[in-house]
Structure formats: structure tokens, C-alpha cells
Chains A and B, each alone.
Chain A
């Protein structure tokens, strides 16, 4: 019996949060994530797809929903400044290829999983003319272990894009950045070494 209030509270939370944050871009961000995740679960996770088809579909959604260039630049960290324009161009392309191949394959296991957005709140933005919202969600890989996922959504007018995803408090952008920076530093500070590595991975 002692669980009833807690369950009631949890339900109230799920139902009331989107309206409690009446801020329109925050609400629109939550809606944006909901739609995108639904589409991802129904199209990309379709187990009938071939690897190539799945990657193509994932690439479309990734380009549409994520600030791929901004994420890639952040992930390269301080080495973005030292990279030449040619290196930057190739890096942006390879970054997208590598993300697409790893995540499209991961998505093949997510067919028919449950996903629910359970709140959103605005967070400070450091970029002019942009609003940022954190959208909180739960993804049920199996019924007993919900995974906590936070989406950082930036918006300019009616343009909405994901700039980072955190899984159980771990930011994908930060992790990738730490990894790439360590790799480049170990390779004598050469961005070209990372490009070689990414090229070999993108081809696989």
C-alpha cells in the first residue's frame, strides 16, 4: 500500500510536466524529440532492413535532427583551430560516416522498444539567438531497466536540432571529445592521424 502515493506522484509528474513548463520552445523541443524518436524506432530499428538501407535511413534522420557540424567541431576540441580547412572538410564528412555506421548498427537491436518523454526544461544558452532545452526521457531496453536519456535541443526560430545526448548522465559529445583529444595528443598533436583512423573505420 505504501507504494500508491509514489505511483500517483510519478503519474502526475509524467502528465503535468509538459504543461508546467509553458515555455513554448521548451515544449516544442519535447515534441520534436518525441516525433524524431518515434520515427527512429519505427523506421531505423525495422529488423527487415539490410545494413546499407538502415545506414541510409539513419543518415537522413541524423542530418535532419542533429547539429552534425556543431557537434563535430566541439568534439575536435582545441584541435579544430589547428586543423587546416581541407582537414576540417574531410573530418566533418568522416565524423558523420563513423557516427552513422556505429549508431545505425546499434539501432538494429532497438526494434519495438518503448520510449517516453517525461519532461523538458529550458537551460541557459551561450549562443546568440538560440534557445536550449533539456528534454528528459526514458528508454526501456527491457521492462526492468529503463535507461535515462537527456536530449539537449537547440533552436533558432522554427529550426530544432539536437546538440548532445546524455545516457545515464554520460554525454556522448563529451566522451567523444575526450577520446579524440587523447588520440590526437598521443599522435603528436596531428589531426591527420585521427583522420587516418576515422578513414579506416568509416570504410568498414
Chain B
């Protein structure tokens, strides 16, 4: 959630805490029920009990601190100013995006990210100088994905939110890679991360409330959304023909198909 830049000591603390918790509470794979075992393997979440615990704390922190702050921000700050704030955080991300686009061998997107940043410098990074193009967001997690590393098991980081083993490594790596965090120093970097979180949260208040209200398993819904969103970002939004749901057919829904095939089919 809070992207890439964060106080390193804090991250180290968070990682140690998560791993300690995870080792203490690994899910035991169901041995005798083949369906449950297959579902367990598909979820790829061996730290699930620890992750769920961290998740419930994160949800609580969100409800107590982040969400109210984001609501205040949304209601009190004029739309024009909000746009500038959003531009500012986006522009601050561009140096890191440019570096990772290069590491992924994507010169076009590296150029786009660099251009967005450089053209915004005279406006103190407040303007969106390339409004007709989507900003390039690339980070170490995506670079490692492009290089062929699997995401590994799901990891729920304290405060930082959903991640994976690869994502956690990426978050730490980006702290050292991002030139902006060197310029800002650690205090300003924390400020940036907090501001970024409030700004992002203020744009998805309804969606999160909707998801919380309508999911039968909120934790699993967030896990699924996180993974699919990351995969989409790795593909830079290109469609993946065999994903999603390639196997859904019309046999249960074709009114001309043989009657009696319905619920007992397959």
C-alpha cells in the first residue's frame, strides 16, 4: 500500500515481526481431504494464520487512523488542490519507475517516466505534464517478475499491507534504489509514504467499504485482488488471453441445450 519508500529500520522491524509470527503460526496443510488440500495449495498462503492476524490489526489501524484522515482530506481539501497533490506523488515516483523500466529493458517507458519527471520539475512537481498518457509505475517487485522470479507465498506486512516474499524483498530493495529517498532523507520519506497512503486511500473509500460489506471472506478477497493487480501491473495492463477464467462455457446457460443437463452437468 505505502509504496517502496519507508524508514528502513521500520521495514526491518516489520519484516522480522512478520516472519517471527509466520514461523510461529504456519498453516498446517490438510492431509486427508484432497479438495481442501488442493484449495490450500492454490491459495499459496502457508503463513495464512499469521497473515490473517496481521491483516486484522491493519484493518483496525485503517479504521482508527487512515480512513478518518482520508475522509477529512477528501471533504476539506478543494478538488484542484487534490489534483496537485496527486500529481506531486505521481511525479515523485517517476525516477524509480525510470530506473526499473531500464532494468526491465523497456526504453520507451523509461523515457516516458523520465520525461514526466523532468518536465514537471519547473512546476515544483505539481503539474501533470503528460495528461494524455497513463503514468508509468514500476518497482523492484515488477522488475524481479520480469526477470522470471515467482512471487512466492503471500505475505501480509504490518501497516504496509498485502505483499509477497518477492514483494517484500522488492520493498526493501527500492528503499536503496530510489534516488528520491536519498534526497529526502528518512524523515521526509516517512512523510511522503504517509501522505501517499492518505491520498490513495481518499480515492478508494467507497470501493473498500463496498468490498468489506460484500465479501464473504474479506481477507481472501484482498489477497486475490492484490495478486491479480500485481500481475496486471507486471504486464503493464496488456490483456492476458488465457486469463481470467478461460474455462467458463455456455453449456449450463444455452436455452437450446438438452434439458436436465443443468445442475448435474460436470
Given contacts A70-B249, A85-B263, A171-B244, contact A136 B229 (CB under 8 A): no
**12 A-B pairs, CB-CB below 8 angstroms?**
A70-B249, A73-B265, A126-B249, A156-B250, A163-B250, A164-B244, A169-B228, A169-B233, A178-B220, A179-B217, A181-B42, A189-B36
Q: Interface of B with A (CB < 8 Å)?
A: 30, 33, 35-36, 38-40, 42-43, 83, 132-133, 210, 214-217, 219-221, 223-225, 228-229, 231-233, 235, 237, 239, 241-256, 262-266
Q: Which residues of B contact A148 (CB under 8 A)?
A: 237
Bound Cα distance A168, B35 (Å): 31
Q: How far is the CB of B200 from chain A (nearest CB, A)?
A: 13
Q: A88-B264, A166-B244, A182-B223 are in contact. List 18 more A-B contacts (CB 8 A).
A: A10-B132, A67-B253, A70-B253, A80-B266, A85-B264, A88-B263, A130-B249, A148-B237, A156-B250, A159-B255, A163-B250, A169-B237, A170-B232, A174-B245, A179-B220, A179-B221, A182-B43, A201-B216
A92→B263 contact, CB < 8 A: yes
Of the candidates A173, A177, A183, A185, the one having the most CB atoms from chain B within 10 angstroms of its own CB is A185
Q: How far is the CB of A155 from chain B (nearest CB, A)?
A: 8
Q: Which residue of chain B has its CB nearest to the CB of A83?
A: B263
Bound Cα distance A192, B249 (Å): 25
Chain A interface: which size bin?
Answer: 35 or more
B132→A6 contact, CB < 8 A: yes
Q: Which residues of A contact B225 (CB under 8 A)?
A: 170, 175
Q: How far is the CB of A106 from chain B (nearest CB, A)?
A: 7
Bound Cα distance A77, B250 (Å): 16
Interface residue from B33, B39, B246 paired with A181 (Cβ < 8 Å): B39
Interface residue from A74, A170, A185 paired with B40 (Cβ < 8 Å): A185
Interface residue from B210, B229, B246, B263 paired with A89 (Cβ < 8 Å): B263
Q: Which residue of chain B has its CB nearest to the CB of A4?
A: B132
Per-residue interface assignment for chain A, residues 132 to 155, with 1 indicating a CB less than 8 Å from any chain B CB and 0 otherwise:
101010000000100010101010
Q: Interface of A with B (CB < 8 Å)?
A: 3, 6-7, 10, 67-74, 77-82, 85, 88-89, 92, 102, 106, 123-124, 126-127, 130, 132, 134, 136, 144, 148, 150, 152, 154, 156, 159, 161, 163-164, 166, 168-171, 173-175, 177-186, 189, 194, 197-198, 201
A73→B220 contact, CB < 8 A: no
Interface residue from B35, B38, B229, B241 paired with A169 (Cβ < 8 Å): B229
Bound Cα distance A70, B244 (Å): 14
